[in-house]
A and B are shown apart, each in its own frame.
Chain A
Amino acid sequence: MTHERDIERVLDHWLGEGPLVVGDHVIAQVAQRIEHQAQRPAWRLGQEGQLMTGALRMVAAVAAILFLAVASSVLLSRPSGPEPASPIPSPVTRSIYAANFDPGLSLQLPAGWVNTDDSYFSFELEGPSGAAAGAITLRTNPYLAANTADCSSATDVGTTEGIIAGLTADRRLVVSEPTPVVVGGVDGQMVDVELDASWTGTCPWSAGKPAVLLVARLSSPPGPDFGIAGLERVRLILLGRDAGVSIGIHAPAATFESFLRVAMPIVESFRFGAPRISPTREGP
């Protein structure tokens, strides 16, 4: 077919075919959903609310490589002597960049760690021993999960303060005192969460183990973000006054503290791509 006809002309015609009208229910549902969807403040969005461009990523990549090169040369030129214990098991790190995660992310990753998910809404890292042994999960725009049997619904509580207050008040959970934290230049709050020993309720995704959904999405698409199951502990970090990004560090309770010693330096290396993700732009 395409030997004789020009491919562009064919595509012009063919792509013009097909449905051109959307059902009224779509706009009706959008109108309904935005009633519960807060807008993100401009300071938390990149230029035109979008991701880093390829060119910016390239600049960031080069800058990170140069930084590593300089840092390595400084370290190598130190006089020999006893080294302080390092929380990172391997000195070999590499810079990685989120190709899709909004609002863009760059970080330093030790050897053995892998990036298993990078989407507009989520970004995940797994440790060398796999997700069951420990993982770091990022989500955008989290909301406090609703206490429902399906373990997949969100409340309309979307502020950092509100989410943490909701988790703290939840008798199914044991939640530490919130601690202020700064990640990638953005202020936030951090809590450690585990299930109360008396809680036995399960979730469809928990394989029969006691579980609680911690945060969920109201949209984009709606559904569970992450929860806690069985003898697991989670460090939950919410960034920005209205919790623009959540970071969850998951590990079995028995190895949680040692996993944190590896995971927290990774989190501390986070740099968000949007240049205006700055706490100085946040209003009172």
Chain B
Amino acid sequence: MAAAVGEWEWKRVDGDLVKAAQEGGREAYVDLIRVRADHLFAVAHRILRDVDRAEDALQDALIIAWRDIKGLRDIDRFDAWLHRVVVRVCLEQATRERRRVVNLQVLPLDGPAGRDEFLDVADRDQLERGFQRLPLQQRAILVLHHFVGYSPAEIAQALGIPDGTARSRLHHAHRAMRAALEADARRGIHEGRSA
């Protein structure tokens, strides 16, 4: 895997801030999340594919993390734990949303970062369609691996699943993505769309 674009620079956890937040320090908690918010928002956005929903999910996740931070025993795992809360809330919110709105909005990818000639417009459209066909769990695994830069072992830690399960799910997610893209390409040929 190439160096992940979303790999964050705050991997070294400020233990004093986490401890202060666990003791009820709201300012300490806000300091902790302020430096992580952009990255966590990017993770939520890549799972949910919608800016507003990603912001809502992040906000809820950060409230839950505040509520539950006393339960974090290993301060060094703060970031893995925080990722897990964000991913869970994304899955939760998307599931709720899906009950009300079956068709998710497909947004144009007009973000400022990472754009190059590696992918053309047709590729991006195809990827968007393929990605949105994946179950949310598979989307989350792919985002944690390809955007956050987590290894399968780190995914396992972040999602609270066995190592082997994380590897297996990642493998299946890749396979599902490939199948979704191939199905989309076949559909494009039938519809006269260039793929």
Q: Which residues of A contact B (CB under 8 A)?
A: 1-2, 7-23, 26-27, 29-31, 33-35, 37-42, 44-51, 53-55, 100, 119-121, 141, 219-221
Contacts and interface: CB of A to CB of B under 8 A. Distances in A.
Interface in B116-143: 116, 118-119, 122-124, 126-127, 142-143
A100 to B, nearest CB: 7
7 contacts: A14-B124, A15-B143, A39-B69, A41-B70, A42-B70, A120-B64, A120-B88
A190 B174 CA distance: 50
Contacts of B115: 17
B182 to A, nearest CB: 7
A8 B161 contact: no
A7 B178 contact: yes
Given A7-B177, A7-B178, A50-B160, A27 B34 contact: yes
Contacts of A19: 41-42, 45, 51, 111-112
Contacts of B41: 19-22, 26
Nearest to A120: B92
A100 B147 contact: no
B68 interface: yes
Interface in B1-46: 1-2, 4-6, 22, 24, 26, 29-30, 33-34, 37-42, 45-46
B155 interface: no
Contact of B161 (A13, A49, A53): A53
Given A54-B162, A119-B92, A221 B67 contact: no
A121 B113 CA distance: 35
B190 interface: no
A23 B73 CA distance: 31
A119 B112 CA distance: 35
Counting from the closest, the 8 A-B pairs by CB-CB distance are: A45-B71, A16-B5, A49-B71, A22-B41, A16-B114, A18-B111, A49-B68, A219-B63
Contacts of A53: 160-162
Contact of B71 (A20, A21, A29, A40): A40
Contact of B73 (A26, A34, A47, A119): A47
A11 B112 CA distance: 17
B63 A33 contact: yes
A13 B51 contact: no
Nearest to A121: B92
B146 interface: yes
A29 B114 contact: no
A20 B22 CA distance: 28
The interface centre, meaning the residue of B69, B73, B89, B146 with most chain A CB atoms within 10 A of its CB, is B146
Contacts of B93: 221
Contacts of B116: 13
B50 to A, nearest CB: 11
Contacts of B114: 13, 16-18
Given A17-B109, A18-B45, A22-B37, A8 B30 contact: no
B4 A10 contact: no
Nearest to B92: A120
Contacts of B46: 15, 18
B64 A219 contact: yes
